[in-house]
Amino acid sequence: MEKGRNMAYQSGFLHNRVTIWNKVVSTGFGDTTSWQDVGTVWANVTFSRGMKSLREGALDAYDTVIIRMRYNKIVTRDSLLVHDGRTYQIQSFHRDQRENIVQITAVEMVNPQVNIVPPLPENALYDADGILLQDADGVCLTADYN
């Protein structure tokens, strides 16, 4: 392997689709938190372990995954990730621009109670860090994605 290249980019390694949801907080009469679908990326998803826990009288399974994707600034520590119909909450997060990788450890959310807002059209305006600046209708938006 050539120096400076991460093995994550060998042919066929990034073969899973992962959708990134970022938090959108609406202020006004009581703050409300929703989640915005900001994009789907190619990634490698590896199940590292499963853990069973007794919660509220029901036996639930929690899966821990390691997700590797190309470097981007759209995903943050506060993002939720969706893969194969399951929603994951980020536990650890490492972004390395030099190695062109984002590596995440995440735990499946059992019965996630999240409010999803519709995804924005592709012609919405984002800055270089992946922060939404303007929607497709020209309405200026501000959001803190850290």
With respect to residue 108, please indicate whether it lies within any of the assigned structural domains: yes
- Report the CATH number that the domain containing residue 91 is assigned in CATH: 2.40.10.270
- Tokens 């994605």 correspond to 145
With respect to residue 57, please indicate whether it lies within any of the assigned structural domains: yes
Q: How many CB atoms lie within 10 A of CB 52?
A: 9
Closest of 42, 51, 23, 38 to residue 83, by C-alpha: 42
Q: Are 9 and 29 in contact (CB under 8 A)?
A: no
State the pLDDT at residue 28. Answer: 67
State the pLDDT at residue 20. Answer: 94
Q: Are 73 and 130 in contact (CB under 8 A)?
A: yes
Count the residues in the chain. Answer: 146
With respect to residue 54, please indicate whether it lies within any of the assigned structural domains: yes
- Please list the rounded mean pLDDT of every run of 10 residues in the chain (146 residues): 49 85 79 86 82 49 84 92 92 92 90 69 58 56 44
Q: What is the span of the domain harbouring residue 66? A: 7-118
Q: How many domains does the chain have?
A: 1
With respect to residue 144, please indicate whether it lies within any of the assigned structural domains: no
With respect to residue 142, please indicate whether it lies within any of the assigned structural domains: no
φ and ψ of 112, to 5 deg: -65, 135
State the pLDDT at residue 143. Answer: 45
Instruction: Show the tokens assigned to 101.
Output: 């990788």
With respect to residue 134, please indicate whether it lies within any of the assigned structural domains: no
Closest of 58, 61, 88, 63 to residue 75, by C-alpha: 88
